[in-house]
Amino acid sequence: MSRHRAILSAIVIGYSRLMRVEPALTKAALDDIDADLIRPNLAKHGGRTLEVAEDRTVLEFADAKQAVLFAIVIQLAMQSRNKNLREDRQILYRIGIETLSTADGATDNDETQNIASGLSELTEPGRICVSSHVYSDISDALDLTVEPIEERPLNQVPERILSFEVKLDATAGAAVAASAKPPQLNRRSAVLGALIAALVILAAGTSLYFYQTGQRQSEANTPSVPQKPTIAVMPFENLSTDTKGAMFAHGITASIISALAQVPQLFVISSSSAFSFAQQFGGTREVGREFGVRYVLVGSVQINNNIRVIAELSDTQTGETLWTERYDRSQDDVFAVQDEITLSVLVSLQVALTEGHRAVVRGHGTQNVSAYLGLLNAEKEFRNYTRASMVETRQLLQDVRRLDPGYYHAMLLEARTHTFDAQWGYSDDAEASLQTASEILQEAALLDGNMSEADKAEVQITQAYIEQMDGNFGSALSLALAAVEASPNNSNLLATAGWVASFDRDYERSIRLLKSAIAHDPIYPSWYANFLSRSYVFQGQPERAIEWAEDGVNRSENDRRRAWALVNLAFAYEAAGQSEEARGSADEARALWPDISIATLERAQPFQHQEDWQIFASAMRANGIPE
């Protein structure tokens, strides 16, 4: 049980460099962190400030448990704040914690402070290091992943100190949640509790660990924001002297807002709100407070002999400029230029805010804004993963291909609809559906002269999917790994390769690929988590499997996806020996998916080794899934 008072030392990494390069921004960012994070959470965890220097803060807590919980909250929040910042502008803390060694609990114990400061030097930036005394105090009080650090002497402390690093993994988030939730909540609610706790942190000015979603909520009239990147596009400034420039500035603003509004991963303030607020625009922070958004896009337009457009994306919390671009174009066709710039800004913002490399590849495939947005709509429909949605996706893609017949990403998505027909029994002839998918890929390959290596990798990974479904396992894995090598930053490609590797019993590779996909796409779909869960089960780590399966349930896009995630959760619970929880998950899956069966699940999962399928099928039968 945690019983000793504790000293926490937090040191800002590279403080001198930050102050030398960007003194005003650095000071403003540190002031925001103090106001939004340090002070509110210090009060919440019963701590008090002992010392504040330029690059170091020393805090005291009533016990080690509260000190560690505080440290976890701060480091997870800082990870979220830093996510969209350039590496050289990120603020990182090293945190060290030691218990007070005096019997009377005095707060002026220099030796304890020296040890805490020394411990902060032992761990990596953004991490937490605790002494053996702290570890002893919290081992029974908190369920955390804690790993020993090599024993060595600290600065200003002659003896060698045994220390430990507190890992910032799912158990850390769950520990924060558990400290704030009623005791009757069971373990199955841990992930939900962690999300609730993260939202509490968001109210103090931070975001969920995997998202850049928040704006401080300290003012009662600040609107709440969804758990996705939020952005306002302010009217572009006209730097021209004629009405043509004003019309173009208005048009490109409205065009960009309209385009961004069709991206499901973003929350965009309406054009009417943006234009009505334009006269009051006093800076990015004011826009953030008014609309409750994290990001603001501003820009300018100048038309002389040519057209020049400058766009700039800023963070409303820090005032930091995250991205800026200048576009110089001929005035030959002003509306074509508007579309071209709109598409470029749209893709660049998706890269900055959501989908990274995948948005770049998809955007390079066309010059037609309507075709690009049509593809996004088709992808959104595809992710419903139902029989009807496959049909609707193909109808939407017909319109896309009429707009741009050579848009190979539309072809790839159409091919995937046919593989899903085969995988989930949506077609009467699975072999014919796979053959149709292959023929569409061959059509895309004829566009080879217009395709980059990354584009070809997209074709390869789709063919790998087809090969896996067709039982050609060796070919599938070879194609998948070649695709990853050619395009290592494409999240969907990485995840699909992880899916293929999982069925080949290459679980280490599967987990690595899926986690890399998540790192590239923080708003990842539920199936990433589902297959991470399954790989962990077969690797003999059911507890981790449960965590990822619960994540898949929480991310489920619709009832069918939730049912599939619950099937994986039942499998993980069964592997962990938690029969009651397994049956509950399976029953919930059957309620959402009445016609679920062993046969359906077998068709959807192309296991290379029959014994692996039998392990999965046995778990399903044990929990009431019918044949």
Q: What digits encode the pLDDT tens for the residues 451-465?
A: 667 777 888 888 888
Answer yes or no: is 579 within a domain.
Answer: no
The helix (run of H) or strand (run of E) holding residue 160 is strand 157-166
CATH of the domain at 313: 3.40.50.10610
Q: What are phi and psi of 50, to 5 degrees?
A: -100, -40
What CA–CA distances, in Å, run from 512 to 79, 157, 312, 532, 565?
20, 39, 35, 9, 20
Answer yes or no: is 512 within a domain.
Answer: no
What is the rounded CA–CA span in Å between residue 213 and residue 623?
A: 38
Residue 564, both tokens: 């599939």
Amino acid at 502: S
Helices (H) and strands (E) in the chain, counts: 27, 13
Assess whether pLDDT exceeds 70 at residue 359: no
What CA–CA distances, in Å, run from 466 to 102, 252, 417?
67, 41, 11
Answer yes or no: is 387 within a domain.
Answer: no
**Does 194 lie in the same domain as 68?**
yes
What CA–CA distances, in Å, run from 352 to 14, 53, 91, 116?
25, 34, 19, 37
Per-residue confidence at 33, pLDDT binned at 50, 70, 90?
confident
Beta-carbon count within 10 A of 568 CB: 28
What is the rounded CA–CA span in Å between residue 447 and residue 445?
A: 5
**Does 153 lie in the same domain as 31?**
yes
**Does 311 lie in the same domain as 255?**
yes
**Does 256 lie in the same domain as 141?**
no
Domain closes at, from 331, 353, 375: 353
Beta-carbon count within 10 A of 508 CB: 11
**Does 337 lie in the same domain as 245?**
yes
Answer yes or no: is 574 within a domain.
Answer: no
What is the rounded CA–CA span in Å between residue 293 and residue 215?
A: 6
What is the rounded CA–CA span in Å between residue 359 and residue 364?
A: 8
Domain closes at, from 323, 353, 383: 353
Give the count of domains, the chain: 2
Answer yes or no: is 167 within a domain.
Answer: yes
Least confident of 228-232, 425-429, 504-508, 534-538: 228-232
**Does 271 lie in the same domain as 130?**
no
| Nearest-10 crossing angle of helices 507-520, 526-538 | 160
Assess whether pLDDT exceeds 70 at residue 423: yes
What CA–CA distances, in Å, run from 533 to 101, 515, 575?
43, 11, 11
What is the rounded CA–CA span in Å between residue 302 and residue 239?
A: 5
Reduce the DSSP state of residue 237 to 3 states and report it.
strand
Per-residue DSSP letters for 366-399? -S-HHHHHHHHHHHHHHTT-SHHHHHHHHHHHHH
% of the chain with per-residue pLDDT over 70: 78
What is the rounded CA–CA span in Å between residue 509 and residue 326?
A: 41
Q: Determine the pLDDT at residue 128.
A: 94
**Does 290 lie in the same domain as 172?**
no
3-state secondary structure 489-553: CCHHHHHHHHHHHHHCCCHHHHHHHHHHHHHHCCCCCHHHHHHHHHHHHHCCCHHHHHHHHHHHH
* pLDDT greater at residue 157 or residue 213: 157
The vertex-229 CA angle with 225 and 234, nearest 5°, equals 85
Q: Dihedral, CA atoms, 525, 528, 529, 532, nearest 10 degrees? A: 180
**Does 117 lie in the same domain as 199?**
yes
State the chain's mean pLDDT as an integer.
78
What is the rounded CA–CA span in Å between residue 416 and residue 382?
A: 9
* pLDDT greater at residue 559 or residue 580: 580
- Only one residue has tokens 């009239």, namely 221
Per-residue confidence at 487, pLDDT binned at 50, 70, 90?
confident
What is the rounded CA–CA span in Å between residue 213 and residue 294?
A: 7
pLDDT digit string, tens, across residues 370-420: 787 788 788 878 888 888 999 999 999 999 989 888 888 888 899 999 988
Highest-confidence range of 184-198, 305-319, 383-397, by mean pLDDT? 383-397
Determine the structural domain holding residue 265 and report its residue range. 230-353
Half-sphere CA count of 30, side-chain side, radius 13 A: 23
Of 269, 295, 245, 8, the closest CA to residue 134 belongs to 8
Domain closes at, from 324, 353, 382: 353
Residue 578, both tokens: 């938690």
The helix (run of H) or strand (run of E) holding residue 459 is helix 453-469
Q: Determine the pLDDT at residue 540.
A: 92
Q: What are phi and psi of 163, to 5 degrees?
A: -135, 165
* pLDDT greater at residue 197 or residue 451: 451
**Does 236 lie in the same domain as 195?**
no
Answer yes or no: is 486 within a domain.
Answer: no
Q: What are phi and psi of 222, to 5 degrees?
A: -75, 125
Answer yes or no: is 55 within a domain.
Answer: yes
**Does 22 lie in the same domain as 111?**
yes
Q: Dihedral, CA atoms, 190, 195, 198, 202, nearest 10 degrees? A: -160
Taking a C-beta distance cutoff of 8 angstroms, is the pair 70, 61 a contact? yes
* pLDDT greater at residue 276 or residue 326: 326
**Which of left, alpha, beta for 395 (phi over 0: left; psi -120 to 50: alpha)?**
alpha
What is the rounded CA–CA span in Å between residue 144 and residue 187?
A: 14
Q: In what order do the strands lie in the sheet with 56-61?
A: 47-52, 56-61, 6-12, 93-99, 128-131, 157-166, 146-154
Residue 507, both tokens: 């679980």
Reduce the DSSP state of residue 60 to 3 states and report it.
strand
| Nearest-10 crossing angle of helices 357-364, 453-469 | 100
Burial class (CB in 10 A: 0-12, 13-18, 19+), 85: middle
Query: β-strand 93-99 against 6-12: which pairing, if any?
Result: antiparallel
Q: Determine the pLDDT at residue 350.
A: 65
- Only one residue has tokens 């995250």, namely 322
Query: β-strand 93-99 against 128-131: which pairing, if any?
Result: parallel
Assess whether pLDDT exceeds 80 at residue 208: no
**Does 241 lie in the same domain as 169?**
no
Q: Determine the pLDDT at residue 186.
A: 37
Beta-carbon count within 10 A of 155 CB: 10
What is the rounded CA–CA span in Å between residue 78 and residue 93?
A: 8
Answer yes or no: is 535 within a domain.
Answer: no
Per-residue confidence at 259, pLDDT binned at 50, 70, 90?
confident
CATH of the domain at 10: 3.30.70.1230
Half-sphere CA count of 196, side-chain side, radius 13 A: 13
% of the chain with per-residue pLDDT over 90: 22
**Does 284 lie in the same domain as 195?**
no
Assess whether pLDDT exceeds 70 at residue 227: no
